[in-house]
């Protein structure tokens, strides 16, 4: 009987202790046993709230240590993630001679190299242009520039010949002085004289502007020089060869062919042997000389057309004799068109490049 009473009392005590344990246990105690599946989420916020309210009891220090480790891991993961867009290094789009737009980070070697190359190219162009204007009338300079003068004459006469050929004519060209004040002569049989007679000065201006534009791309200068050389050799063979069949122009044709082939070969040689920087300087020099000659020669025609200087016939007098309007009108017209072409070319090439660089620098 006594043993039964003791056993019942022990069962009651154990049941009371279990009930008390269930009553004292709370959802907070259950949360201690669950792992943190959502780091930085709701569980993380709840634990932080309990820590601030002091509800974690004796396990507060242990939880704080775990939270510190979790925060360190979260920060490490966020710092190691790749930064797709960074405000510290904005992308600047730059373009070069035939390349597609490509982002170059500010301060990167590629960006600084592109700007340096563009500045050197632009400075070289303006130095050559100013030197050509200032030294245009120096006798020794004109003597040294004889090959360049022949280059311009070749372009002038070939421009006549190309338009004459395209309009149904048969041209014959010489590019050496004839002793009558002409640097070269283009004789045509057939074709539209209205266009072929004007093509000399306007064609020279057009080629000069094209060379100025192409001069912006230094890495292609070698290939451009070789292309010019090939075209000069072809032009000599096509347009100068007919002059050999006339006894009057045979000697001029012989020297003209020598000049044409020599200049073409020289351009090809320079394109193959020169470094890109030097080839670009040669191309810029030819561009400036060609563009300036188209304007200066048209200017010389004005007093000639007014009867104030010189005599004989010119492209302007040919237009006057065949199309009624006076020679000085045609000379003024060609000079105005040449100036407009050169101005427009400078605006879209070196002028626009200068403005874009100022805008980029202002935005940085």
Confidence of residue 134 (pLDDT cuts 50, 70, 90): confident
Q: Quick one: average pLDDT of 11-30? A: 45
Q: Does the structure show a pLDDT above 60 at 193?
A: yes
Looking up tokens 């010019």, which residue turns up?
A: 228
Report pLDDT for 207.
96
Whole-number average pLDDT of the chain: 75
pLDDT at site 97: 39
Residue 106 makes CB contacts below 8 A (sequence gap 6+) with: 89, 90, 91, 92, 364
More confident residue, 144 or 110: 144
Task: Name the burial class of residue 209, with classes exposed (0-12), middle (13-18) and buried (19+) by CB atoms within 10 angstroms of its CB.
Answer: buried
Report the percentage of the chain scoring pLDDT > 90.
Answer: 41
- 231: pLDDT strictly greater than 70: yes
Instruction: Calculate helix-pair angle for 276-305, 315-323, nearest 10 degrees.
Output: 50
Give the residue-averaged pLDDT of 323-338. Answer: 90
* pLDDT value at 138 more than 80: no
Distance CA 257, CA 255 (A): 5
pLDDT winner (highest mean) among 35-49, 83-97, 328-342? 328-342
At which residue do the structure tokens 């396990």 appear?
A: 59
What's the pLDDT at 95? 39
- Tokens matching residue 89: 């290094």
């Amino acid at each position: 009987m006594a043993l039964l009473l003791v056993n019942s009392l022990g069962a009651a005590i154990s049941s009371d202790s279990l009930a008390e344990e269930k009553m004292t246990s709370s959802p907070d105690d259950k949360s201690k046993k669950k792992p943190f599946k959502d780091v930085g989420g709701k569980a993380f916020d709840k634990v932080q709230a309990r820590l601030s309210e002091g509800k974690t009891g004796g396990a507060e220090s242990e939880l704080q240590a775990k939270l510190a480790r979790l925060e360190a891991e979260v920060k490490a993961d966020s710092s190691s993630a790749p930064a797709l867009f960074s405000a510290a290094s904005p992308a600047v789009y730059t373009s070069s001679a035939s390349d597609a737009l490509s982002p170059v980070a500010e301060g990167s070697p590629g960006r600084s190299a592109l700007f340096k190359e563009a500045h050197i190219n632009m400075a070289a162009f303006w130095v050559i242009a100013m030197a050509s204007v200032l030294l245009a009338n120096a006798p020794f300079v004109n003597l040294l520039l004889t090959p360049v003068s022949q280059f311009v004459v070749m372009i002038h006469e070939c421009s006549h010949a190309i338009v004459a050929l395209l309009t149904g004519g048969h041209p014959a060209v010489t590019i050496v002085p004839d002793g009558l004040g002409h640097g070269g002569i283009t004789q045509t049989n057939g074709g539209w004289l209205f266009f072929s007679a004007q093509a000399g000065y306007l064609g020279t201006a057009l080629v000069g502007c094209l060379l100025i534009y192409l001069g912006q791309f230094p890495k292609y200068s070698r290939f451009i020089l070789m292309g010019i050389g090939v075209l000069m050799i072809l032009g000599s063979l096509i347009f100068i060869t007919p002059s050999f069949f006339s006894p009057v122009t045979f000697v001029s044709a012989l020297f003209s062919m020598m000049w044409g082939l020599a200049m073409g070969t020289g351009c090809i040689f320079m394109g193959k042997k020169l470094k890109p920087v030097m080839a670009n300087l040669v191309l810029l020099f030819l561009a400036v000389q060609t563009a300036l000659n188209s304007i200066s020669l048209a200017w010389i025609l004005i007093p000639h057309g007014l009867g104030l200087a010189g005599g004989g016939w010119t492209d302007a007098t040919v237009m006057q004799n065949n199309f009624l309007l006076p020679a000085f009108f045609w000379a003024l017209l060609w000079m105005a068109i040449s100036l407009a072409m050169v101005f427009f070319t400078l605006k879209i090439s070196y002028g626009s490049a200068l403005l874009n660089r100022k805008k980029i620098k202002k935005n940085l």
